[in-house]
């Protein structure tokens, strides 16, 4: 598996094409953990929506999510509540009892959208969906609009306190989900981070993963395709906040939409020391 940089042709093309997409659906949704979290004190995570991680340019209201999930270190489900919105930021609160890895995930309600042909084609290129673009080209439908249903299911890993239990590789059960195969809180610069992508619980091959750090700009800092087992390795070049993203599309050919896309992100903080 190989990864690409912003200087490559794909990234340059993505910058040009993606800049033309104005719809809010084209924004990634990130669940961003705080810098620190300790047991028995309210932990607030942010729901941010944008294309330049983690700058939020669109308000995502957690009270409207289809699902809000919290998995505690013992694997039991905990309680996480919507805590309102402010200036393009949504908030979710929970109070951890024990130290250890906590997993926060949400799932949005599916929505319908129709994009003009040029917008839809640009979106396919920028989001690493060349198979769909090629299919439209082969069918000579590149001049047709894209009728699509989409939903987003981001996830965050949070280390509460020091030590404790918890399994960062636990499967939450999102429609599209990035599963760590390594503990992200043990990563170091120069290493790699192994992940597996599941789509409806099954490994997803040839999925185009991108990763981002704050300040790196709108295109992904790098990309990599999953192998036949749905697995990929991401190089670790920076500590601190990082997010991994993916869009997957299928063709249900339903009465009111032709395509269905699933968006996901995995966000966490690699410890600085």
Do the Cβ atoms of 199 and 235 come closer than 8 Å? no
What are the domain boundaries of the chain?
3-171+240-268
Query: What pTM value is reported for the model?
Result: 0.91
Q: Angle CA(203)–CA(206)–CA(207) in degrees, nearest 5?
A: 75
Fold designation for 3-171+240-268 = Immunoglobulin-like (2.60.40)
Q: What was the pLDDT predicted at 147? A: 97
Q: Produce one character per residue of 2-33: b if its CB has 16 or more CB atoms within 10 Å, e if not.
A: ebbebeeebbeebeebbeebeeebbbbbbbbb
Identify the DSSP state of 18: H
Nearest to 210 by CA among 39, 11, 63: 11
DSSP state letters, 208-234:
EEEEE-TTS-SS-SEEEE--TTSEEEE
Biggest alpha carbon distance in the chain? 59
Give the distance from CA 108 to its chain's centroid: 12
3-state secondary structure 131-154: HHHHHHHHCCCCCCCEEEEEEECC
Q: What was the pLDDT predicted at 272? A: 87
Tell me the C-alpha distance between 18 and 81, whole Å: 33
Give the distance from CA 131 to its chain's centroid: 20
Tell me the C-alpha distance between 218 and 70, whole Å: 29
Q: What was the pLDDT predicted at 25? A: 60
pLDDT (tens place) for every residue of the chain, 273 residues total: 444 443 333 333 333 344 444 445 669 999 999 999 999 999 999 999 999 999 999 999 999 999 999 999 999 999 999 999 999 999 999 999 999 999 999 999 999 999 999 999 999 998 999 999 999 999 999 999 999 999 999 999 999 999 899 999 999 999 999 999 999 999 999 999 999 999 999 999 999 999 999 999 888 899 999 999 999 999 999 999 999 999 999 999 899 999 999 999 999 999 987
3-state SS, residue 27: coil
247: β partners: 263
Tell me the C-alpha distance between 135 and 141, whole Å: 9
Q: What was the pLDDT predicted at 219? A: 85
């Amino acid at each position: 598996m190989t990864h690409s940089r912003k200087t490559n042709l794909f990234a340059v093309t993505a910058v040009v094409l993606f800049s033309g997409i104005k719809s809010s659906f084209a924004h990634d949704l990130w669940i961003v953990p705080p810098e620190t979290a300790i047991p028995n004190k309210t932990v607030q995570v942010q729901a941010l929506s944008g294309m330049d991680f983690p700058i939020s340019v669109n308000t995502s209201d957690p009270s409207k999510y289809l699902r809000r999930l919290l998995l505690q270190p013992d694997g039991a489900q905990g309680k996480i509540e919507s805590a309102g919105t402010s200036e393009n930021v949504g908030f979710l609160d929970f109070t951890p009892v024990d130290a250890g890895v906590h997993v926060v995930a949400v799932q949005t309600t599916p929505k319908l959208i129709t994009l003009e042909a040029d917008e839809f084609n640009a979106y396919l290129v920028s989001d690493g969906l060349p198979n769909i673009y090629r299919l439209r080209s082969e069918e000579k439908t590149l001049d047709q609009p894209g009728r699509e249903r989409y939903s987003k299911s981001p996830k965050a890993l949070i280390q509460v306190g020091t030590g404790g239990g918890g399994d960062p590789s636990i499967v939450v059960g999102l429609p599209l989900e990035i599963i760590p195969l390594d503990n992200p809180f043990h990563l170091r610069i120069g290493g790699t981070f192994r992940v597996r992508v599941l789509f409806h619980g099954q490994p997803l091959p040839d999925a185009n993963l991108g990763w981002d750090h704050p300040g790196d700009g709108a295109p992904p800092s790098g990309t990599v395709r999953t192998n036949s087992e749905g697995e990929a390795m991401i190089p670790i070049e920076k500590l601190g906040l990082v997010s991994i993203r993916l869009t997957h599309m299928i063709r249900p050919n339903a009465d009111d939409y032709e395509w269905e896309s699933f968006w996901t992100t995995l966000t966490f903080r690699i410890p600085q020391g």
